[in-house]
């Protein structure tokens, strides 16, 4: 299938011995001038890049407390060394969280600390050379910013913050990543990562309406740019065309229909994903997010509901209020923004939705906690709601549910392997290898408990698993959207199914 080997499942999940340099050649395509320019970055490596990189580092150190504290505080205790899925899958020591951080930290020490200026060898400080820059480009694009390491670090050092800073420095000297930067450009120009124009989006949604009507006999609508709607749904654009994402979108539409709410999508903000975070750029992240606020004001909505997406939910939950708040024009009686799982779970708790759980009886489900939902956001009122609410929703619509190894779920969940701007074909090797720990845990419940499907609430997870499951000899359609399960089991009022159920209860 490719010019690399899919890693073998480890016996007893043993921590592998390290092999230096095995992933040094893994680098994504470099952005061209046309991808760099709309984001405000130079089109190619600038002449004085050493100085420019140092200046940028100094700028970031002054702007981000986390970066400053994390570069100073690491004691090299080794607690994080076996926590990254990319290390476990590749055994390259520069994929250990601290190994990755040290690529930046050694340069920080050289130019910004007393010990590194005068005793570089003693403290492992390094000059910024072209080789170091190449290592940055390579290895900071082998981090999915999943934050698993930050759970286990005694000082909470978050490699995601270091990777973001490193990518911002690289962008500022002219070496951007094509995948992320091209996509951000598409959002600025068209409104979504896929570059799906309004007309095409409209057609897609109309096709979906027809499809749902054929299935249910009911006019379930997917409105676009409907002024005066109460709810704006912001969802990853993959939901409009990719499998299994689109089945999730159908699920949201059915839930909205059954709840009887007046909702709409926006073509201007037809993207929940925000790759500005992946490249560590506050300004670009704000520009991408601003489209949501603009759409909300323009359409005059009262609430914002957010679709199934991981990093996007992080930005929406944790950053929107900062970047594009305050939300004083929205209805304060609801969480701003509200996750679709929170929305559905509220309805379930209030007995507003009826399900025929047997519709999902052909499935034995498990749930993959998406990294950024798990470790960077919350749902509901209580810490940990981001774990409980999606599970509650699944259990409300499925009879067969199984947990994977607890070491690999909830706050300890492993990234799918494709997050943080790595979901591109030029990084296939790191994606496949990085999926190893999740594939091991999944394979275990498949073999021992007969699991047939895994649900996720992230567009990246869904695309990544679709692609990598076959490498691990599992079918690509094992991965499903949570709201696909909801949509399949939901009994819509007035549908034939509902009438049949009513007749049955009359006969009794």
Partner 1 sequence: MSVAFAILLYIAAAIFLGGLFLRVRKYWRTPAPLKIPTMPAPTTQAGVVMRMGREVVLFESLFKSNKWTWVFGWMFHLSLLLAFFRHLRYSMSPDNILWPLINNPIVQSFGKYAGYAMLIGLLGLLARRIFVDRVRYISAPSDYLMLLLILIIAATGMSMSFIAHTDIVTLKMFVLGLLRFDIQPLPSSLLLQVHLATVAILMIIFPISKLLHAPGVFFSPTRNQVDNAREKRHIVPWAAKLDANRGYKTKDQLVKE
Choose between 4 and 188: whose C-beta lies nearer to partner 1.
Answer: 188
Helix axes 97-112, 49-63, angle to 10 degrees: 100
- CA pair distance 248, 289, nearest whole angstrom: 23
Binding residues among 76-95 for partner 1 as defined by CB under 8 A? 76-83, 93
Q: Would you count residue 152 as binding partner 1 (CB under 8 A)?
A: yes
Containing 399, the helix (H) or strand (E) segment is none
Beta strand 453-456 pairing with 338-339: unpaired
Number of residues that bind partner 1 (CB under 8 A): 82
- CA pair distance 388, 410, nearest whole angstrom: 9
- Selected binder of partner 1 within 15, 24, 34, 499 (CB under 8 A): 15
Q: Would you count residue 376 as binding partner 1 (CB under 8 A)?
A: yes
Q: Would you count residue 75 as binding partner 1 (CB under 8 A)?
A: yes
Choose between 161 and 247: whose C-beta lies nearer to partner 1.
Answer: 161
Q: Would you count residue 111 as binding partner 1 (CB under 8 A)?
A: no
Write down the least CB distance from residue 248 to partner 1, Å: 23
Strands (DSSP E) contained in 244-298 are 263-264
Write down the least CB distance from residue 45 to partner 1, Å: 27
* C-alpha dist (Å) from residue 97 to 80, 213, 360, 420: 6, 50, 40, 15
Q: How many CB atoms lie within 10 A of CB 250?
A: 24
- Torsions phi, psi for 356 (to 5 deg): -110, 95
Contact stretch for partner 1 (CB under 8 A) within 33-41, 168-176, 291-299, 494-502: 291-299
Binding residues among 316-355 for partner 1 as defined by CB under 8 A? 317-319, 321-322, 324-326, 335-337
Choose between 148 and 245: whose C-beta lies nearer to partner 1.
Answer: 148
Residue 397 DSSP one-character state:
H
Binding residues among 406-435 for partner 1 as defined by CB under 8 A? 411
Residue 201 near residue 235 (C-beta atoms within 8 A)? no
Residue 386 near residue 378 (C-beta atoms within 8 A)? yes
- CA pair distance 375, 415, nearest whole angstrom: 11
Binding residues among 171-230 for partner 1 as defined by CB under 8 A? none
- Selected binder of partner 1 within 40, 51, 58, 115 (CB under 8 A): 115
Binding residues among 224-253 for partner 1 as defined by CB under 8 A? none
Beta strand 231-234 pairing with 303-306: parallel
Three-state secondary structure of 293-315: HHHHHHHCCCEEEECCCHHHHHH
- Selected binder of partner 1 within 33, 48, 51, 73 (CB under 8 A): 73
Q: Would you count residue 374 as binding partner 1 (CB under 8 A)?
A: yes
| Per-position x/- string for 255-284, each x denoting binding to partner 1 as judged by CB under 8 A, each - no binding | -------------x-------------xx-
Contact stretch for partner 1 (CB under 8 A) within 43-51, 71-79, 207-215, 494-502: 71-79
Q: Would you count residue 112 as binding partner 1 (CB under 8 A)?
A: no
Binding residues among 431-490 for partner 1 as defined by CB under 8 A? none
Write down the least CB distance from residue 313 to partner 1, Å: 11
- CA pair distance 32, 36, nearest whole angstrom: 6
- How many angstroms from the chain centroid is the CA of residue 466? 15
Closest CA to 288 of 306, 274, 298, 302: 274
- Torsions phi, psi for 68 (to 5 deg): -60, -50
Contact stretch for partner 1 (CB under 8 A) within 120-128, 212-220, 255-263, 431-439: 120-128
Contact stretch for partner 1 (CB under 8 A) within 127-135, 195-203, 382-390, 431-439: 382-390
Write down the least CB distance from residue 229 to partner 1, Å: 16
């Amino acid at each position: 299938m490719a010019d690399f080997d899919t890693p073998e499942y480890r016996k007893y999940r043993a921590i592998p011995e390290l092999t230096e340099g095995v992933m040094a050649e893994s680098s994504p395509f470099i952005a061209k001038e046309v991808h760099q320019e709309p984001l405000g970055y130079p089109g190619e490596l600038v002449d004085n890049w050493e100085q420019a990189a140092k200046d940028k580092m100094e700028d970031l150190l002054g702007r981000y407390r986390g970066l400053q504290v994390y570069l100073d505080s690491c004691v090299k205790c080794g607690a994080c060394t076996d926590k990254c899925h990319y290390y476990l899958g590749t055994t390259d020591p520069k994929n250990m969280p601290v190994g990755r951080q040290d690529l930046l930290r050694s340069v920080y020490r050289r130019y910004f600390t007393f010990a590194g200026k005068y005793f570089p060898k003693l403290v492992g400080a390094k000059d910024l050379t072209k080789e170091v820059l190449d290592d940055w480009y390579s290895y900071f694009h082998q981090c999915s910013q999943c934050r698993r390491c930050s759970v286990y670090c005694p000082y909470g050092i978050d490699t995601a913050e270091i990777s973001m800073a490193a990518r911002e420095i690289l962008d500022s000297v002219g070496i951007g990543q094509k995948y992320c930067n091209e996509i951000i450009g598409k959002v600025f120009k068209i409104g979504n990562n896929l570059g799906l124009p309004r007309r095409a989006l409209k057609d897609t949604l109309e096709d979906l309406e027809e499809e749902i009507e054929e299935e249910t006999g009911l006019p379930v609508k997917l409105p676009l740019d409907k002024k005066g709607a109460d709810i704006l749904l912001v969802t990853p654009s993959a939901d409009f065309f990719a499998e299994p994402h689109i089945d999730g979108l159908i699920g949201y539409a059915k839930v909205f229909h059954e709840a009887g709410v007046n909702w709409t999508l926006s073509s201007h903000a037809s993207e929940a994903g925000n790759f500005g975070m992946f490249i560590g750029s506050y300004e670009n992240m704000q520009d991408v997010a601003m489209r949501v606020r603009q759409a909300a004001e323009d359409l005059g909505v009262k609430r914002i509901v957010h679709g199934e997406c991981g990093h996007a939910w992080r930005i929406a939950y944790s950053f929107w209020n900062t970047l594009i708040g305050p939300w004083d024009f929205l209805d304060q009686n609801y969480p701003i923004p509200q996750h679709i799982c929170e929305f559905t779970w509220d309805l379930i708790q209030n007995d507003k939705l009826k399900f025929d759980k047997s519709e999902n009886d052909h499935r034995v489900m498990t749930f993959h906690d998406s990294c950024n939902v798990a470790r960077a956001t919350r749902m509901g009122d209580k810490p940990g709601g981001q774990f409980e609410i999606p599970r509650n929703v699944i259990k409300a619509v499925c009879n067969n549910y199984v947990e994977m190894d607890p070491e690999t779920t909830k706050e300890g969940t492993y990234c799918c392997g494709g997050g943080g701007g790595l979901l591109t074909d030029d990084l296939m090797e790191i994606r496949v290898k990085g999926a190893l720990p999740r594939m091991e845990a999944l394979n275990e419940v498949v073999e021992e408990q007969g699991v047939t499907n895994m649900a996720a609430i992230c567009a990246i997870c869904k695309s990544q698993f679709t692609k990598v499951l076959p490498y691990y000899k599992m079918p690509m359609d094992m991965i499903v959207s949570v709201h696909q399960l909801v949509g399949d089991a939901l009994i819509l009022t007035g549908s034939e199914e509902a009438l049949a159920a009513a007749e049955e209860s009359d006969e009794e």
